[in-house]
Amino acid sequence: MSDCPVAFEQVALDSLEIFKNYLVLEWERTKTPYGLDESLESIAKNEPSSDPNEAAQRETARIFLKCGFRAWLAHFLATHHQGYHYKGQRSEKETINAFHQLPHEDRTNVAAAVASIDCHATVQAAIDKLMHKPKRRRKFAQPPLRPTSTAMTASTTATTATTATATTAALETSSLGGSTTTLTPEEQMCTRASFLGVMDIVPPYICGAISPKDGAADVTMSFPVIRRNGLTPYCLVSMAIKATEVTHIAMQLFPIHIGMEDGIRYMVLSNGGRFYPPSFHFQGSLESDIDRLLGCTISKAIAGSPVREEELAQGIVATRCVTMSFAVGAQEGGVLNLSLGLSDGVWMRDKLYRDETT
């Protein structure tokens, strides 16, 4: 049973990545997703199901619904509109099915995290258009939940409140070279990093590959509550990558070759053929590739992640602490996600967000 917390943790993280992709990648649909209103009506009726898997999926949909339309839409698309016959589809379906079986509080935490994601401009425009329908607007009149201890404590279930309290306690202090750093709930997520701080952490090429946003580096760090009691706290980092650098970084971190023609990215197969997926999502990099491209500081921080420690115990060589997602459109940027150890994560946070932590 000691492996259960890590198993829950990995399913939650992998599911969060899947949901996130539906919000951060370009919206390419021209019509309302098929079955959207019917699915909403089904949730509202709250009809019982004799199929335990279907019942768990409906319960999860209701959890996401309480967090707002953005979160629910990501869950709806992940469970109903995954596309057809693309590489990794079976794995994604298995991950989502496993996610539906997680404890209620874990699914609630993931839903709250999804609700806080900054959408791609085209996704936000699509959401605004979908919400023009008065019937849909009425279903989402209440404000969405946020992935903070405050939001979790306000939950109506005792188990969720207990989890939030334990999470806050776990993040309250961390030892950094003999000093103690306090992590309050408000500091669990930081956005828009200092480029000067980025220069101290990653090699020059990666620094230049990160997209700017509002005069800062588009880097987000979070110390999430998505974990079970007993698992060492950790840190998540998301770097927005410029469109011009996406394919190079992907090919350096993963054993793939990405081509481009007429503004469309595709994967080059070993026989010279081409594969056109609806979007790209890669996971699993070797330590040598991480060290060469992202630098020794990031490599060391990943090695300190509890997720990586569990991987090594299982003999997993290519770490899933490194993932990358991007759209097929060559004009679109990508997102590089890293899972780091807490101590290194807090140290980086203080480097990247000096104005926020001083």
- For the stretch 69-103, pLDDT in tens is 888 899 999 988 654 444 445 578 888 888 988 88
| Residues of the chain above pLDDT 90, percent | 29
The mean per-residue pLDDT over the stretch 239-265 comes to: 94
Distance CA 316, CA 321 (A): 11
Which pLDDT belongs to residue 82?
54
The mean per-residue pLDDT over the stretch 27-41 comes to: 84
Q: Which residues pair with 267 in a beta bridge?
A: 258, 275
The model carries a pTM of 0.58
Which pLDDT belongs to residue 206?
96
Q: Which residues pair with 241 in a beta bridge?
A: 210, 334
Q: How sure is the predictor about 167, in pLDDT bands with cuts at 50, 70 and 90? A: very low
Domains of the chain, by residue range, sit at 1-147, 173-358
* Least reliable range by pLDDT among 49-53, 125-129, 249-253, 303-307: 49-53
Cβ proximity of 218 and 211 under 8 Å: yes
Q: Angle formed by the axes of helices 246-253 and 287-294, to 10°?
A: 150
Q: Is residue 33 classed exposed, middle or buried when 0-12, 13-18 and 19+ CB atoms within 10 A define those classes?
A: middle
How confident is the model over 126-136, as pLDDT tens digits? 888 887 765 55
Distance CA 345, CA 351 (A): 10
Which pLDDT belongs to residue 129?
85
* Least reliable range by pLDDT among 36-40, 86-90, 212-216: 86-90
If we measure between CA atoms, which residue out of 214, 223, 241 comes closest to residue 357?
223
Q: How sure is the predictor about 293, in pLDDT bands with cuts at 50, 70 and 90? A: very high
Q: How sure is the predictor about 300, in pLDDT bands with cuts at 50, 70 and 90? A: very high
Q: Is residue 231 classed exposed, middle or buried when 0-12, 13-18 and 19+ CB atoms within 10 A define those classes?
A: middle
